[in-house]
A and B are shown apart, each in its own frame.
Chain A
Protein backbone atom coordinates (compact mmCIF):
# COMPACT_ATOMS: atom_id res chain seq x y z
CA UNK A 1 0.00 0.00 0.00
CA UNK A 2 1.10 3.59 -0.63
CA UNK A 3 1.66 5.44 2.64
CA UNK A 4 0.86 9.15 2.80
CA UNK A 5 2.62 11.09 5.56
CA UNK A 6 1.56 14.63 6.39
CA UNK A 7 3.55 17.27 8.22
CA UNK A 8 3.00 18.87 10.52
CA UNK A 9 0.39 16.82 12.37
CA UNK A 10 -0.90 20.03 13.90
CA UNK A 11 -0.19 23.71 13.66
CA UNK A 12 -1.28 26.97 15.27
CA UNK A 13 -1.49 30.07 13.12
CA UNK A 14 -3.01 33.53 13.25
CA UNK A 15 -5.75 34.62 10.92
CA UNK A 16 -4.14 36.07 7.80
CA UNK A 17 -1.09 33.83 8.08
CA UNK A 18 0.21 31.73 5.20
CA UNK A 19 -0.08 28.02 5.99
CA UNK A 20 1.68 25.15 4.26
CA UNK A 21 0.86 21.48 4.75
CA UNK A 22 3.14 18.87 3.22
CA UNK A 23 2.20 15.36 2.17
CA UNK A 24 4.83 12.78 1.28
CA UNK A 25 4.02 9.57 -0.54
CA UNK A 26 5.94 6.34 0.01
CA UNK A 27 6.31 5.97 -3.76
CA UNK A 28 6.02 8.16 -6.83
CA UNK A 29 2.45 8.98 -7.79
CA UNK A 30 1.17 11.02 -10.67
CA UNK A 31 -0.21 14.50 -10.10
CA UNK A 32 -3.59 13.33 -11.37
CA UNK A 33 -3.96 11.21 -8.26
CA UNK A 34 -3.50 13.55 -5.29
CA UNK A 35 -6.50 15.03 -3.51
CA UNK A 36 -6.92 17.28 -0.48
CA UNK A 37 -9.89 17.40 1.89
CA UNK A 38 -10.98 19.63 4.76
CA UNK A 39 -13.01 18.39 7.70
CA UNK A 40 -14.58 20.58 10.34
CA UNK A 41 -15.54 19.11 13.69
CA UNK A 42 -18.70 17.03 13.47
CA UNK A 43 -18.96 17.32 9.70
CA UNK A 44 -18.17 15.13 6.72
CA UNK A 45 -14.96 15.83 4.81
CA UNK A 46 -15.16 18.17 1.85
CA UNK A 47 -13.06 17.99 -1.30
CA UNK A 48 -10.77 20.99 -1.72
CA UNK A 49 -8.28 20.06 -4.42
CA UNK A 50 -7.95 17.28 -7.00
CA UNK A 51 -5.29 16.58 -9.61
CA UNK A 52 -2.76 18.04 -7.09
CA UNK A 53 -3.62 21.65 -7.93
CA UNK A 54 -7.16 21.98 -9.32
CA UNK A 55 -9.61 23.62 -6.92
CA UNK A 56 -12.98 21.91 -6.54
CA UNK A 57 -15.88 24.18 -7.45
CA UNK A 58 -16.65 26.76 -4.82
CA UNK A 59 -13.29 26.48 -3.07
CA UNK A 60 -11.79 29.93 -2.36
CA UNK A 61 -8.74 30.99 -4.33
CA UNK A 62 -6.68 31.38 -1.13
CA UNK A 63 -6.22 27.60 -1.36
CA UNK A 64 -3.64 26.19 -3.74
CA UNK A 65 -1.98 22.85 -4.30
CA UNK A 66 1.36 21.94 -5.79
CA UNK A 67 3.90 19.17 -6.00
CA UNK A 68 5.04 16.17 -7.94
CA UNK A 69 6.68 12.81 -7.49
CA UNK A 70 6.45 12.03 -3.81
CA UNK A 71 5.99 15.48 -2.26
CA UNK A 72 2.82 17.54 -2.42
CA UNK A 73 1.80 20.76 -0.67
CA UNK A 74 -1.46 22.44 0.25
CA UNK A 75 -1.13 26.19 0.84
CA UNK A 76 -3.58 28.60 2.40
CA UNK A 77 -2.41 32.07 1.47
CA UNK A 78 -4.21 33.85 4.30
CA UNK A 79 -5.87 31.73 7.00
CA UNK A 80 -9.53 32.50 7.64
CA UNK A 81 -11.72 31.45 10.59
CA UNK A 82 -13.69 29.01 8.43
CA UNK A 83 -10.44 27.17 7.56
CA UNK A 84 -9.97 25.75 11.05
CA UNK A 85 -10.22 21.98 11.25
CA UNK A 86 -8.33 19.01 9.88
CA UNK A 87 -6.84 18.72 6.41
CA UNK A 88 -6.15 15.37 4.74
CA UNK A 89 -4.23 14.45 1.62
CA UNK A 90 -5.18 11.30 -0.30
CA UNK A 91 -3.71 9.30 -3.15
CA UNK A 92 -6.05 7.78 -5.73
CA UNK A 93 -3.24 6.25 -7.80
CA UNK A 94 -3.90 2.69 -6.70
CA UNK A 95 -6.22 0.96 -4.23
CA UNK A 96 -6.38 1.30 -1.31
CA UNK A 97 -6.89 5.04 -1.71
CA UNK A 98 -4.89 5.95 1.35
CA UNK A 99 -5.22 9.15 3.34
CA UNK A 100 -2.58 11.02 5.25
CA UNK A 101 -3.01 11.05 9.01
CA UNK A 102 -4.36 14.61 8.96
CA UNK A 103 -3.14 18.08 9.92
CA UNK A 104 -5.12 19.88 12.60
CA UNK A 105 -5.12 23.64 12.02
CA UNK A 106 -5.89 25.75 15.08
CA UNK A 107 -5.84 29.47 15.77
CA UNK A 108 -2.88 30.84 17.68
Chain B
Protein backbone atom coordinates (compact mmCIF):
# COMPACT_ATOMS: atom_id res chain seq x y z
CA UNK B 1 0.00 0.00 0.00
CA UNK B 2 1.31 3.43 -0.96
CA UNK B 3 1.77 5.69 2.06
CA UNK B 4 2.99 9.26 2.41
CA UNK B 5 3.34 10.80 5.88
CA UNK B 6 4.31 14.43 6.40
CA UNK B 7 6.08 15.78 9.46
CA UNK B 8 7.89 18.89 10.64
CA UNK B 9 5.07 21.41 10.60
CA UNK B 10 4.18 23.77 13.41
CA UNK B 11 4.12 27.37 14.56
CA UNK B 12 6.87 29.71 13.40
CA UNK B 13 7.40 33.47 13.56
CA UNK B 14 7.42 35.56 10.38
CA UNK B 15 10.86 35.42 8.83
CA UNK B 16 11.56 32.06 10.38
CA UNK B 17 12.28 28.67 8.85
CA UNK B 18 10.76 25.20 8.88
CA UNK B 19 11.75 21.96 7.20
CA UNK B 20 8.95 19.63 6.19
CA UNK B 21 9.58 15.97 5.53
CA UNK B 22 7.48 13.36 3.77
CA UNK B 23 8.21 9.71 4.50
CA UNK B 24 7.04 7.32 1.82
CA UNK B 25 6.53 3.57 1.54
CA UNK B 26 4.80 1.00 -0.60
CA UNK B 27 6.36 1.94 -3.93
CA UNK B 28 9.74 2.26 -5.63
CA UNK B 29 10.43 5.84 -4.56
CA UNK B 30 13.35 6.54 -6.89
CA UNK B 31 11.13 6.06 -9.95
CA UNK B 32 8.64 8.80 -9.12
CA UNK B 33 8.62 12.57 -9.25
CA UNK B 34 7.22 14.18 -6.09
CA UNK B 35 5.23 17.34 -5.33
CA UNK B 36 4.30 19.66 -2.49
CA UNK B 37 0.87 21.31 -2.57
CA UNK B 38 -0.56 23.64 0.06
CA UNK B 39 -3.95 24.94 1.15
CA UNK B 40 -4.47 28.15 3.10
CA UNK B 41 -7.25 28.06 5.70
CA UNK B 42 -10.63 28.01 3.95
CA UNK B 43 -9.01 28.38 0.54
CA UNK B 44 -8.28 26.23 -2.49
CA UNK B 45 -5.28 24.15 -3.46
CA UNK B 46 -2.01 25.80 -4.49
CA UNK B 47 0.77 23.83 -6.17
CA UNK B 48 4.12 24.63 -4.52
CA UNK B 49 6.95 22.58 -5.94
CA UNK B 50 7.99 19.49 -7.89
CA UNK B 51 11.19 17.46 -8.01
CA UNK B 52 12.27 14.83 -10.51
CA UNK B 53 12.99 11.24 -9.54
CA UNK B 54 16.76 11.75 -9.39
CA UNK B 55 16.57 14.93 -7.36
CA UNK B 56 18.42 16.90 -10.03
CA UNK B 57 15.63 19.17 -11.28
CA UNK B 58 13.02 21.18 -9.38
CA UNK B 59 10.36 23.77 -10.16
CA UNK B 60 8.56 26.18 -7.87
CA UNK B 61 5.53 28.40 -7.70
CA UNK B 62 6.46 32.06 -8.09
CA UNK B 63 5.08 32.73 -4.62
CA UNK B 64 7.80 30.59 -2.99
CA UNK B 65 10.68 30.72 -5.46
CA UNK B 66 13.89 31.79 -3.79
CA UNK B 67 12.53 31.02 -0.31
CA UNK B 68 11.61 27.33 -0.50
CA UNK B 69 13.82 24.43 -1.58
CA UNK B 70 12.59 20.94 -2.40
CA UNK B 71 14.96 17.99 -2.08
CA UNK B 72 14.82 14.23 -1.75
CA UNK B 73 16.77 11.35 -0.26
CA UNK B 74 16.27 8.27 -2.41
CA UNK B 75 18.12 6.10 0.11
CA UNK B 76 15.61 7.02 2.84
CA UNK B 77 12.55 7.36 0.56
CA UNK B 78 11.84 10.87 1.75
CA UNK B 79 11.13 14.23 0.16
CA UNK B 80 11.71 17.50 2.03
CA UNK B 81 10.66 21.10 1.74
CA UNK B 82 12.97 23.66 3.33
CA UNK B 83 11.00 26.84 3.92
CA UNK B 84 12.89 30.04 4.72
CA UNK B 85 11.71 33.62 5.07
CA UNK B 86 8.24 32.46 6.05
CA UNK B 87 5.34 34.89 5.73
CA UNK B 88 1.80 34.91 7.04
CA UNK B 89 0.51 33.93 3.63
CA UNK B 90 2.51 30.70 3.84
CA UNK B 91 0.14 29.51 6.60
CA UNK B 92 -1.80 26.41 5.65
CA UNK B 93 -1.86 22.67 5.30
CA UNK B 94 1.05 21.27 3.30
CA UNK B 95 0.59 18.03 1.39
CA UNK B 96 3.18 15.88 -0.30
CA UNK B 97 2.00 13.94 -3.31
CA UNK B 98 3.33 11.37 -5.73
CA UNK B 99 3.27 12.07 -9.45
CA UNK B 100 1.93 9.16 -11.48
CA UNK B 101 3.08 8.19 -14.95
CA UNK B 102 -0.08 9.92 -16.18
CA UNK B 103 1.03 13.48 -15.22
CA UNK B 104 -1.27 13.56 -12.22
CA UNK B 105 -0.78 13.24 -8.48
CA UNK B 106 -2.33 9.93 -7.58
CA UNK B 107 -1.37 9.56 -3.91
CA UNK B 108 -1.36 12.28 -1.25
CA UNK B 109 -0.28 12.46 2.36
CA UNK B 110 -2.70 13.48 5.06
CA UNK B 111 -1.17 16.96 5.27
CA UNK B 112 0.73 18.87 7.93
CA UNK B 113 -0.21 22.31 9.28
CA UNK B 114 2.18 25.25 9.11
CA UNK B 115 1.27 28.41 10.99
CA UNK B 116 3.27 31.59 10.50
CA UNK B 117 2.36 34.07 13.19
CA UNK B 118 3.96 36.35 15.74
What residues of chain A have their CB less than 8 Å away from a CB belonging to chain B?
A: 1, 32-33, 35, 37, 39, 44-47, 50-51, 54, 56, 86, 88, 90, 92, 95-102
| Chain B interface residue count, Cβ-Cβ cutoff 8 angstroms | 22
11 more contacts with CB within 8 A, not counting A35-B103, A45-B45, A50-B102, are A1-B62, A33-B103, A44-B111, A88-B44, A88-B45, A95-B59, A96-B62, A97-B35, A99-B45, A99-B46, A100-B44
Q: Is the CB of A50 within 8 A of B103?
A: yes
Interface secondary structure of B, over-half rule: strand
Q: Is B50 an interface residue (CB 8 A)?
A: yes
Q: Is B95 an interface residue (CB 8 A)?
A: yes
Interface CB pairs A-B, < 8 A, 5 = A37-B45, A44-B111, A45-B37, A90-B47, A99-B45
